[in-house]
């Protein structure tokens, strides 16, 4: 993941160094798991957002501290040990001039999104700050995600040839759907549409959807951003989408209240996995 992101950030980082950082950034987790496997398995079964805190409570350190100590013991460059130590610490990763730390933090979130293993709101907020700090655009982020999948496919093919089995890393892709994203916020629209495209879904323009342009009947999933619409617009939109019988979900940020007319609809963050979208479709099957 880090190697895929490296070419796109403004603070240029050697892709090979990024590759090593990607390999090493969670090495502390392997140390803890090897030392106390049963205790660490309990941590892995918990929520991803609580992992660092649980590690600290159980072992007196989290995996980033353990990893940094090992890389320093091996006398590897400080840039690598710092990326290992601070890739979960947004107070550092979003402000540091060391591009490898920021890049590793971005890559870690993208890899988790690719697996569907992430805390929605924490990841959204952190990723937004990291993108702003690094200069990585939404379109470049999606290119990096696509390259990650290509690399994983290559690795999976290699593992099959060698008899080692699957990597289990690629994002599960469901059948292609045609989706419309209903928002007037361009940045949010670009992010959601980019994720949908990455997951293999087709897009239909919002304006064409409401004007019932040819192809609009192919749309079967609508994702609505309520923050950009008035209450009257939301009420009319909810009835309209219900009448069409579409799969639908509300796009929400942390702390956002779901509009009364859309109560009972599934919710998604602005950063979501293929599994989460599939869950929306299962909940709104007509």
Give the pLDDT score at 234: 95
63-73 and 51-59 are packed helices; what angle lies between their axes, rounded to 10 degrees? 70
Cα 235 to Cα 101, 209, 230, 280: the distances in Å are 45, 17, 9, 20
248 contacts 223 by C-beta, under 8 angstroms: yes
Share of the chain above pLDDT 90, in %: 45
pLDDT digits (tens, 9 = 90+) for 210-243: 999 999 999 999 999 999 899 999 999 999 999 9
Give the pLDDT score at 118: 64
Rounded CA-CA distance 251/196 in Å is 13
Give the Cβ contact number of residue 190 at 10 Å: 16
147 contacts 110 by C-beta, under 8 angstroms: no
Give the pLDDT score at 138: 76
Give the pLDDT score at 175: 55
Kindly state the helix (H) or strand (E) to which residue 267 belongs, with its residue range: strand 267-268
Helix (H, G, I), strand (E, B) or coil at 88: coil
Give the Cβ contact number of residue 41 at 10 Å: 10
Report the phi/psi class of residue 152: left, alpha or beta, with left for phi > 0 and alpha for psi in -120 to 50.
alpha
pLDDT digits (tens, 9 = 90+) for 152-173: 666 555 555 544 444 444 444 5
Give the Cβ contact number of residue 15 at 10 Å: 15
Q: Which domains occur in the chain, in start order? A: 2-162 (1.10.3210.10), 178-283 (3.40.50.2300)
Rounded CA-CA distance 41/17 in Å is 30
Taking CA 282 as the corner, what is the angle to CA 276 and CA 286, rounded to the nearest 5 degrees? 140
99-115 and 120-134 are packed helices; what angle lies between their axes, rounded to 10 degrees? 140
Do strands 221-224 and 247-251 pair parallel, antiparallel, or not at all (unpaired)?
Answer: parallel
Give the pLDDT score at 200: 83
The tokens for 167 are 């990597």
Rounded CA-CA distance 228/224 in Å is 9
Q: Which residues of the chain have pLDDT under 70?
A: 1, 8, 10-12, 115-122, 149-175, 285-286
118 contacts 109 by C-beta, under 8 angstroms: yes
216 burial type by CB count under 10 A (0-12 exposed, 13-18 middle, 19+ buried): middle
Give the pLDDT score at 162: 46
Do strands 178-182 and 267-268 pair parallel, antiparallel, or not at all (unpaired)?
Answer: unpaired
Phi, psi of 173 (to 5 degrees): -115, 125
């Amino acid at each position: 993941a880090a190697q895929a992101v490296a070419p796109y950030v403004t603070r240029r980082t050697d892709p090979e160094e990024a590759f090593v950082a990607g390999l090493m950034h969670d090495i502390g987790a392997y140390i803890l798991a090897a030392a106390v496997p049963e205790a660490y398995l309990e941590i892995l079964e918990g929520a991803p957002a609580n992992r660092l805190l649980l590690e600290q409570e159980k072992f007196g350190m989290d995996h980033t501290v353990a990893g940094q100590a090992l890389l320093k013991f091996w006398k590897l460059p400080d840039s690598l040990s710092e990326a290992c130590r601070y890739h979960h610490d947004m107070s550092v990763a979003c402000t540091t001039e060391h591009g490898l730390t920021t890049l590793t933090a971005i890559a870690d979130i993208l890899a988790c999104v690719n697996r569907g293993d992430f805390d929605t709101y924490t990841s959204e907020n952190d990723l937004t700050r990291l993108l702003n700090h690094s200069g990585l655009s939404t379109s470049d982020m999606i290119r990096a995600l696509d390259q990650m999948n290509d690399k994983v496919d290559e690795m999976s093919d290699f593992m099959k040839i060698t008899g080692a089995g699957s990597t289990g890393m690629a994002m599960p892709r469901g059948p292609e759907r045609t989706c419309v994203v209903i928002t007037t916020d361009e940045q949010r629209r670009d992010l959601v549409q980019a994720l949908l495209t990455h997951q293999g879904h087709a897009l239909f323009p919002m304006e064409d959807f409401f004007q019932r342009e040819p192809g609009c009947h192919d749309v079967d999933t609508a994702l609505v951003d309520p923050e950009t619409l008035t209450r009257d617009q939301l009420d009319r939109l909810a009835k309209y989408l219900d009448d069409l019988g579409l799969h639908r979900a509300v796009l929400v940020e942390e702390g956002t209240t779901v509009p009364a007319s859309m109560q009972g609809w599934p919710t998604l963050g602005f950063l979501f996995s293929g599994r989460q979208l599939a869950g929306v479709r299962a909940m709104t099957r007509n």
